[in-house]
Amino acid sequence: MSNTLTITLHVWRQKNAQDPGGFVEYSAKDISTEMSFLEMLDVVNENLIHKGEEPITFDHDCREGICGQCGLVINGRPHGPRERTTTCQLHMRSFRDGDDIVIEPFRAKAFPVIKDLMVDRSAFDRIISAGGFISVPTGCAPDGNAIPVPKENADLAMDAAACIGCAACVAACPNASAMLFMAAKISQLALLPQGQPERYTRVRDMLTQMDAEAFGTCTNHGECEAACPKSIKLENIARMNRDFIKASLTYRPDTGLGGGA
């Protein structure tokens, strides 16, 4: 049932990448518990514009938990208090009247702040660009049923493929590691017969790019899995590590290939 809340927000405001930034306090009144968290911020922003102040900049788009564009650290947790929930799917019924809410951007060296709560996550695109694909030009594919995939593998691949690239895993990790994001894609493709030809070059190329992007390394904290809105599992990192070891042992510097044996 609908109730209204009054809450105090402590929002990170930062004019641009050069600005040191800091917290600013806002009061949000008459907030319906039916509102989404972003709708609550909309209300705050409408009031700021009416007062002639600049609204809070934050990324969002689909508002149904699938595009991965939204992402705020809410009271210290990426995407806030509810498990398996993106910021846009978080609703105000998860909060109580009189609450203080601290809102920050996803923080990582690889994700510079653009403005306020908006960060630059283009490093993720560059990791995919380095190898997160199957090289199959349009038009040359065999019949869909010519490549049977055991249901169990298809299901596991789908579990991994559910990643929305929001970067909560990086924001949650004490090392700001991108391992869970990368492992999800590597696992998906390694579990499918279509992904086998490039399996080992893929893992090498993507890891090389990750290192170039100033992400940290994985030291098995497991914070990424806890923060993931799509339940991507740590076992994907184990699967990736096995592939990486095999790829490293069989790497042939003369051809850039390896691991096929």
Partner 1 sequence: MELNACIPDGPLEQKWEKHQFDLKLVNPNNKRNYRILIVGSGLAGGAAAASLAELGYDVACFCYQDSPRRAHSIAAQGGINAAKNYRNDSDSIFRLFYDTVKGGDFRAREANVYRLAQVSNNIIDQCVAQGVPFAREYGGLLDNRSFGGAQVSRTFYARGQTGQQLLLGAYQALERQIGLGQVKMYTRHEMQELILVDGVAKGIVTRDLVTGEIQSHVGDAVILATGGYGNVMYLATYAKGCNTSAIWRAYKKGAAFGNPCYTQIHPTCIPVTGDHQSKLTLMSESLRNDGRIWVPAKHGDQRAPDQIPENERDYYLERKYPSYGNLAPRDISSRAAKQVCDDGRGVGGTGLGVYLDFADATKRLGARKIEERYGNLFEMYERITGEDPYKVPMRIYPATHYTMGGLWVDYNLMSTIPGLFVMGEANFSDHGANRLGASALMQGLADGYFVIPYTLGGYLAGIKPSARPKVDHPSVKEAEESVKARVSRFLSIGGKETPTHFHRELGKILWEYCGMARNEAGLKKALQLIPELREEFWKNLRIPGSGAEVNQTLELAGRVADFMELGELMCLDALERRESCGGHFREEWQTPDGEAVRDDEHFCHVAAWEYTGDGKTPTRHVEPLSFENTHLAVRSYK
To the nearest whole angstrom, how small is the minimum distance from the Cβ of residue 254 to partner 1? 22
Cβ atoms of 206 and 182 closer than 8 Å: yes
User: Among residues 152 and 220, whose Cβ is nearest to partner 1?
Assistant: 152
| Residue 251 CB partners (closer than 8 Å, separation 6+) | 204, 257, 258, 259
| 152 vs 174, beta carbon nearer partner 1 | 152
Beta bridge partners of 10: 25, 102
Shortest separation between residue 219's beta carbon and partner 1, angstroms: 27
Instruction: List all residues 6 or more positions away from 28 whose beta carbon is below 8 Å from its beta carbon.
Output: 5, 6, 7, 8, 9, 40, 43, 44
Find the shortest distance in angstroms from Cβ 111 to partner 1.
Answer: 11
Q: Which residues pair with 118 in a beta bridge?
A: 115
Q: Which is nearer to partner 1, 113 or 224 (CB)?
A: 113
Question: Residue 168 to residues 56, 108, 123, 176: CA-CA distances in angstroms?
Answer: 20, 10, 14, 10
Q: Which is nearer to partner 1, 66 or 226 (CB)?
A: 66
Nearest distance in Å: CB 99, partner 1: 18
